[in-house]
Amino acid sequence: MSTWANLGLQDSASPLMEQLIFFHDHALLILVMITVLVGYLMFMLFFNNYINRFLLHGQLIEMIWTILPAIILLFIAFPSLRLLYLLDEINEPSVTLKSIGHQWYWSYEYSDFNNVEFDSYMIPTNEIANDGFRLLDVDNRIVLPMNSQIRILVTAADVIHSWTIPALGVKVDGTPGRLNQTNFFINRPGLFYGQCSEICGANHSFMPIVIESVPVNYFIKSISNNLNS
C-alpha cells in the first residue's frame, strides 16, 4: 500500500505491474533526455551572436528534426502496445471473482464456489482498530490464492465505479449494464489495498478494496468455511 510521501508507484505484486513499472521508467528516461536536449538548446540561444544573412532553408536539418522524433516515438509506441495486449490477455484463470460497485461499497461473488457472495464496506474512522488503516480497511476482505491466474469481472449496480488496485496493476471500470473483464497474478502473500477511482458520488472516497493474498491451501480452507456457514 501507499504510505506517507510515497510519490512514485507502489511496489509491484504482480508480473503485469512489474512490466508497467519498467515501461514507466523507460518512457521517463526518454522524456528526460528530450527535455535536457531541448532545454540546453533553448538556453544556449540566449548566448548566440551568430546571424546568417543568407539562411532561407535547410533541407537536411528539416529532414533530421522531422524523422528523428518519429523514430523516438516508435521506441515508446511499440513497448506500449506490447503492454496493452499483455494486460488484456486472459490465461486460463483458476479462480473468477465478480465485483459489483454500489453507492458506496463493493459486493463480491465467487461464482466458482456455489456463488459465495458478500458485501465489503469501509470501516468508519471511529470504529477502526489500532493497527487498522483509516479510510482503507474493510469489514470483509477478498481472499484470493497467490501464484494463480485470477479473473476479475467488474460491473456496477447504479453509477460508474472503478475497481483499482495499484500494486497489482489493475484498474477496470464497473459500468451498469456491462461486464468488464481483467486478470492478474499475485506473486506474494499479503494485503493489497485499492480504492474506487471513478468519481461516483459524495462518498466516492469511502469504498476501498482489500485483497488478502494467501497460499492456495489457505484459500481452499477459507472458501470451504464460507460454503459451510
Give residues in contact with ligand CUA (CB under 6 A). 101, 161, 196, 198-200, 204, 207
- For residue 225, the minimal CB distance to ligand CUA (Å) is 29
The nearer residue to ligand CUA, 175 or 187, going by C-beta atoms, is 175
- For residue 71, the minimal CB distance to ligand CUA (Å) is 41
Q: 99, 105, 97: which is closest to 200 by C-alpha?
A: 105
**Measuring CA to CA, how many Å separate 109 from each of 71, 143, 165, 207?**
47, 11, 18, 17
**Distance between CA 162 and CA 88 in Å, rounded?**
17
Q: What do you get for the CA distance between the two ends of the chain, in Å? A: 31
**Distance between CA 209 and CA 197 in Å, rounded?**
11
- For residue 157, the minimal CB distance to ligand CUA (Å) is 11
- For residue 154, the minimal CB distance to ligand CUA (Å) is 11
Q: 194, 191, 184, 195: which is closest to 213 by C-alpha?
A: 191
Yes or no: say if 104 and 204 are a contact pair by the CB < 8 Å rule: yes
The nearer residue to ligand CUA, 36 or 157, going by C-beta atoms, is 157
- For residue 209, the minimal CB distance to ligand CUA (Å) is 10
- For residue 172, the minimal CB distance to ligand CUA (Å) is 12
The nearer residue to ligand CUA, 197 or 226, going by C-beta atoms, is 197
User: DSSP 3-state assignment of 145?
Assistant: strand
The nearer residue to ligand CUA, 172 or 200, going by C-beta atoms, is 200
The nearer residue to ligand CUA, 13 or 196, going by C-beta atoms, is 196
- Alpha carbons within 13 A on the beta-carbon side of 184: 31
Yes or no: say if 113 and 183 are a contact pair by the CB < 8 Å rule: no
The nearer residue to ligand CUA, 137 or 198, going by C-beta atoms, is 198
